[in-house]
Amino acid sequence: MSGFPRLIAVADHALLIEWAEALDDAAHAQVLRLDRALQSDPAPGQQTVIPAYVSLLIQFDPLHSDHAAVQAHARRLMAQPGADSAQGRLREVQVCYDDDLAPDLPEVAARSGMTPQQVIDCHLSGDYRVYMYGFAPGYAYLGGVPQPLQLDRKPAPLRGVPAGSVIIAGLQCIVTTLTMPTGWWIIGRSPTLILDDAADRPFLFEVGDRVRFRRISRADCQVADG
């Protein structure tokens, strides 16, 4: 795409690299490629690397580096020939679609012109990938929602949505990790532990991982009611 990648200085401690303006699989592959390259060959003063849909942010210590040094390092890595991005690991997430855990399932069915069972089958058929993390710890945005389920926001948000809620948010599917409000569609609940207190690996997913949902019964879904 013409004009990309863009390298943009952010404050005095970060460099933003953009490959596109909208969600694009080829651009995301470049994000993953540079992210992995920076893991093995960090930029000068590198502190944190944050990959997103079509961009990547490199945060660095301004006392030990500057934009010019980080930019030169990033350009060198991007210019190097490399293998295609790895497919990422396949992660399984359990989900229960019973009525008490899926309050929006009937409305999603009505809006998509399907039965609740067809919505469940459609959701389970999705080819999901972790594109980025959002505003809450472990709050991963999963792309790959089947087109019939790509609904707009609900008319009104809901407070106190339990952790583990499986949500359809337009093009994305999300499994909440904390009790929080949402304006999106709750179609199930998962007992799969995504956010952990392990210091070395606090999140189940990494950006680039693939996710498959597996249906379980209410008896096997060990979560609180409500």
The whole-angstrom separation of Cα 114 and Cα 92 is: 25
The whole-angstrom separation of Cα 203 and Cα 114 is: 34
186-223 residues labelled b (16+ CB within 10 A) or e (exposed) = bbbbbebebbeeeeeeebbbbbbbbbebeebeeeebee
The burial of 116, by beta-carbon neighbours within 10 Å (0-12 exposed, 13-18 middle, 19 or more buried), is given as: middle
The whole-angstrom separation of Cα 66 and Cα 45 is: 8
Fold of 90-215: Cyclophilin (2.40.100)
Q: Is 148 left (phi over 0), alpha (psi -120 to 50) or beta?
A: alpha
Cβ(186)–Cβ(161) below 8 Å: yes
Q: What is the pLDDT of residue 225?
A: 56
8-36 residues labelled b (16+ CB within 10 A) or e (exposed) = eeeeebbbebbbbeeebeebbebbbbbbb
**Structure-token pair, residue 222:** 């060990």
The alpha helices in the chain, defined as continuous H runs, are: 25-40, 67-79, 105-112, 116-124
Is CATH 3.40.980.10 what the domain over 6-79 is classified as, yes or no? no
The burial of 136, by beta-carbon neighbours within 10 Å (0-12 exposed, 13-18 middle, 19 or more buried), is given as: middle
Residues 140, 88, 10, 22: is their CA dihedral positive or negative? Answer: negative
pLDDT, tens digit only, all 226 positions of the chain: 568 999 999 999 999 999 999 888 889 889 999 999 999 999 999 999 999 889 999 999 999 999 999 999 999 999 987 655 556 789 999 999 999 999 999 999 999 999 999 999 999 999 999 998 877 778 899 999 999 999 999 999 999 999 999 999 999 999 999 999 999 999 999 999 988 876 677 888 888 899 999 999 999 987 755 5
Cβ(194)–Cβ(202) below 8 Å: no
Where in the chain are the domains? 6-79, 90-215
